[in-house]
Chain A
């Protein structure tokens, strides 16, 4: 059972995190939710698209990481293998929860939570003996608090990642709403044949309607410019080229037998 706890110095003083294995929750995510502030960095490796949330039908921005369900081509050899790692991958095992105890205006709307039963999370000295297989080597893993009870630089970095995600989700939603208002969103359908002749049709993806973009009048363009949306719009368009890189990744994966079999042969 997943055990979600709001982060708390006294409770989590001895918790250590194995970063790579904490991220393994993303290993089967074909699409990774992303925020506006990371579009440019993402575009060097990921196609940035829009898709509809299955529960709400609302648009969300995502980095495409694979073509089939539970296929993530950036998860290789037990780690996230990319030049830039999306914030929503980096944040694990932390996530943002709504602050249900908010009483005053000054109180934060959000609180930082930790998934204590997720992979890569260890309660060091308590579980060392009883759960040896799961426990970390002494001195390895990232601590959240130092010996003096102060937040470590690792935790501070995670706090800033989560902060960027909270702000980013609001900004990204505004950006998407602006695109929808100007009818700039259009479905993209991908018909791909991999080298092994496997055919796949990726549906439910949306991108920028370039013809519609060209037909906007100067006032509308000026408005987009003023909101600082022109950059992300063109970044999204340019990032579509990364679909080819992703297909190459998939083809390479299909060609080389998995590590499992390589080991078996040795």
Chain B
């Protein structure tokens, strides 16, 4: 009798989530594997098993070379030494982005989107007070010291600064191919991730529509409780198996092709930029990322507006020295994302979930955010998975929409008229309603935290301020003059920023020098 009750109870208990199978091994696959395995103790008895199946035949895309500061905590969570990471992945420090020629295309036309909040941002908003000085100093120069450091080619920390600590906030530039290899080694040797090199040939479904197992060419069927689709643009599980529709966003963001190239430094002493340089072109823009060993440069453009030949010419003109033997790689970009990201027991992370042009390095950060959310909210049993999936879908959709708004912001503020590409970008038909509303509000006030109230914001109000005022947008503060009573405090903060500039200039080493020291000596863990 007792036995009968127990066994009937057992039948009702939903299966536990003990085994996670990740399909695909680029940065998305290995970041997800690493975060899951570290948090859920995969290397120990009783930990959750994490298996990553990687095709030996498919090369990773590997052009995502810019990160956000979040990467520091992501690496730390996986127990990775910053020194080892930087040495293995040709990594350098990134302190934000410099946007050149985005406003009117002239040579003096540039602004910065740094990685540090404006001075005193938590206490008061300097934007309205800066407006009085706008003709003398740029917004980012007035409120933040990071642009000054970047312009001088200085690093965000010293060799005596501990791993992951900073003097100025920073992210990384990295070699994506080496990064995936580095993570693979760390995940398999330190974190207990099982690695299968094989092609997935088929999927076997359970009665409820879940994926029961994936079939491989040489390793038979690999069963799991949760499957993570990191198969890149192929979107093998979510796209091809579950037929989750792809929402095309090319009506908002026109970029659809990338031409990527690696450019060596002229000499080992060449300065390394400590920021991403994004230079607008007639129908797109060029990224320029300085790694320790080479530069990664690419032209992303709209093929509806310009030809590949023209885009190549623009790229070569940017690089200069036309005699250089450049092997240019063409990568088609499909701007958009899946309608949902988690279906049944399958969730997509990385390109399989979607992609947007790399203007604000959103690819890797979305991978980190998604993998962290899956790991933090990992359902204990199957019966609660649908609830987690619903939340994941809501949050992730919100994030994609916010990123799309923020990317579009860079285009609608441009005053360039040299090409139809820029005129088309300002066509109200192509601007999301949510962004139009914000732009209307900001006619009379600066972006503030009240505009971004979700727990799942990607870009803070400060980022909008940097782009908005960096691109010459004027908010009309005349009707709120009566509220601007803190001129003295504001001037103190502007003064404090100038002191911070002096201190930083006096103490921070040149970026190249620090990178050399990282390779020679390394940072201390404490």
Contact = CB atoms under 8 A, between A and B. Distances in A.
A237 B7 CA distance: 61
Given A56-B517, A57-B517, A180 B525 contact: yes
B522 interface: yes
A102 interface: no
B301 to A, nearest CB: 43
B417 interface: no
Contact of A59 (B159, B161, B517, B524): B524
A185 interface: yes
Contacts of A52: 159-160, 524
A219 B233 CA distance: 51
A133 B522 CA distance: 48
Contacts of B520: 56
Contacts of A231: none
A57 B158 contact: yes
Contacts of A186: 526
A55 B159 contact: yes
Interface string A42-78: 0000000000111111110000000000000000000
Nearest to B520: A56
A58 B521 contact: yes
Question: Chain B: interface residue count, which band?
Answer: 10 to 19
B526 A57 contact: no
B525 A57 contact: no
A60 B520 CA distance: 17
Contacts of B524: 52, 57-59, 180
B388 to A, nearest CB: 35
A97 interface: no
A149 interface: no
A58 B158 CA distance: 12
Interface in B153-187: 158-161
B523 interface: yes
- A57, A59, A183, A187: which has the most chain B beta carbons within 10 Å? A57
A187 B159 CA distance: 16
Contact of A206 (B158, B522, B523, B526): B526
Contacts of B525: 180, 183
Interface string B243-265: 00000000000000000000000
A163 interface: no
Interface in B467-526: 517, 520-526
Contacts of A55: 159, 517
Nearest to B521: A56
Nearest to A186: B526
A52 B525 CA distance: 12
Given A57-B517, A57-B521, A58-B521, A204 B526 contact: no
B526 A187 contact: yes
A187 B161 CA distance: 12
Nearest to B522: A57
Nearest to B518: A57
Contact of B160 (A180, A185, A204): A204
A209 to B, nearest CB: 9
Interface in B224-258: none
Contact of A185 (B517, B521, B526): B526
B394 to A, nearest CB: 41
- B161, B521, B526: which has the most chain A beta carbons within 10 Å? B526
Contacts of B161: 57
Interface string A185-221: 1110000000000000000101000000000000000
A57 B526 CA distance: 11
A6 B489 CA distance: 61
A187 B526 CA distance: 8
B526 A56 contact: no
Contacts of A183: 525-526
Nearest to A51: B160
Contacts of A204: 160
A183 B525 CA distance: 9
Contacts of A59: 524
Contacts of A58: 521, 524
A135 to B, nearest CB: 41
Nearest to B525: A180
B162 to A, nearest CB: 9
A59 to B, nearest CB: 7
Contacts of A180: 524-526
- A58, A187, A204: which has the most chain B beta carbons within 10 Å? A58
A141 B250 CA distance: 86
B76 to A, nearest CB: 15
A54 to B, nearest CB: 6
A109 to B, nearest CB: 20
A53 B521 CA distance: 11
A180 B523 CA distance: 12
A26 B406 CA distance: 57
B160 A54 contact: yes
B525 to A, nearest CB: 7
Contacts of B158: 54, 57
A164 to B, nearest CB: 25
B99 to A, nearest CB: 33
Contacts of B160: 52-54, 57, 204
B350 to A, nearest CB: 34
B155 to A, nearest CB: 12
A204 B158 CA distance: 12
Interface in A98-113: none
A11 to B, nearest CB: 35
B161 to A, nearest CB: 8
Nearest to A209: B526
A53 B523 CA distance: 11
A180 B520 CA distance: 18
A183 B524 CA distance: 11
Nearest to B83: A57
B417 to A, nearest CB: 51
A58 B521 CA distance: 7
A250 to B, nearest CB: 25
Interface in B80-105: none
Shortest Cβ-Cβ A-B pairs, 10 listed: A57-B159, A52-B160, A56-B521, A57-B160, A57-B521, A58-B521, A185-B526, A57-B523, A57-B524, A54-B160
22 contacts: A52-B159, A52-B160, A54-B158, A54-B159, A54-B160, A55-B159, A56-B517, A56-B520, A57-B159, A57-B160, A57-B517, A57-B521, A57-B522, A57-B524, A58-B521, A58-B524, A59-B524, A180-B526, A183-B525, A185-B526, A187-B526, A204-B160
Given A187-B526, A206-B526, 12 more contacts: A52-B160, A55-B159, A55-B517, A56-B520, A57-B159, A57-B160, A57-B517, A57-B524, A58-B524, A180-B525, A180-B526, A183-B525
Interface of B: 158-161, 517, 520-526
